[in-house]
Structure 1
Amino acid sequence: MKHLVVLLTTFLLTYHASAEVATIHAIKSNMPKATKASSASSIPILISGDKKFINQTNAALNLLKSKAPSDYAMVITYIGKIQQHNFSGMAAYETPPTYKVGTTANASVTWYASTIVHDAYHSKLYHDYLYTYKEAVPDEVWTGMDAEMKCLEAQIQTLIHMKAPKMEIDHAISLRGTNWWDLNEDGIYDAEDEKLRDW
């Protein structure tokens, strides 16, 4: 009986690891190679924007790589492109999954890095569901209150790992249980909220 339990445990661990590796390969197979701008730092993510944006993004990714390597590994698995944009948000459904960044890129490098992790977690929720169920991903799986709280917790842990300024950690913690993204306060997150964003 003891041997059966050991064999079953080994099988389950191996199966879980294999499934996770398969998920990573499935996502990465749809991603193009890194651009010249981002390959200078050996970062396997496309970075699109002006010179200041590219430099700030590389600085944030390199900070994650050195101070929060497990978070960095998650980022390069679930984000294929970081693009300068009018406002910030994760387009997990695009090929490659794209983090579109507004003025958030002008924040401190620690805060910007933590938002990259936050949005990579949105993409993780999206792609883990897609890989597991092989069907269209319901919005509530990767957006909305429950998803935001999961992504926020990942962000808080990243800030702690990077030893970010206390005020940044405290600010992230203060967002727990709030729906900061519902800017028109109608109880849903949609294009109307995106139009009101200033980050």
Structure 2
Amino acid sequence: MTPGADGAAPRRRGRPPRTRSGAGPDARTRILEAARTEFALRGYDKTSVRSIARAADVDAALVHHYFGTKDEVFGAAIEVSFEPALVLPAILDGPEEDMGERLARFFIGVWENPASRAPLLAVLRSALTHEPSKVLRGFLLRRLLERVAAELDVPDPTFRAELAASHMIGIAILRYVVRAEPLASADPEKIVAMVAPTLQRYLADR
């Protein structure tokens, strides 16, 4: 490789300088932001751990260190918008007969808030293939709905959580990704009112 005018070897085309490649306090945040961007631009299938690492300007080993597999990176990108650790107490706190409404209001509220909708929508658009759909469903089940059902002490909690997850993912895809009418332009309060009794029956009806 021919040295440049200053005597330094020129940087390879297309490869960013590795000035921030080491682990640091913001490395995990950079990886997560890069992952959301890569999934949005390339889709799930064409995004790799290496491409995420390259976009975040870190080594691929650091991505594995923080997140593990590509599925787990994808799950973490979804989790940022939902924050289940903060939401679960709010959903479970209060009369059990109103739990379906609290869950529906939370879920629709995440999508209606521009701050959380934009990055989540970008991620969900890449979830229309089989694998990311499975990851998205798994996140809603393990981190949110199965915990709700378990706290309610009802029979078949996993089955109930599966039904609720399918219902909620279907609404998100049709309203916010496919933009199917009349669901796409329906008032959010109307959706909450219609969906809440179904979620209540799925998760709490004994």
Q: TM-score, normalised by structure 2?
A: 0.27
More strand by share: 1
Q: Which structure has more RCO (C-alpha within 8 Å, separation ≥ 6)?
A: 2
More helix by share: 2
Q: Which has the greater radius of gyration?
A: 2
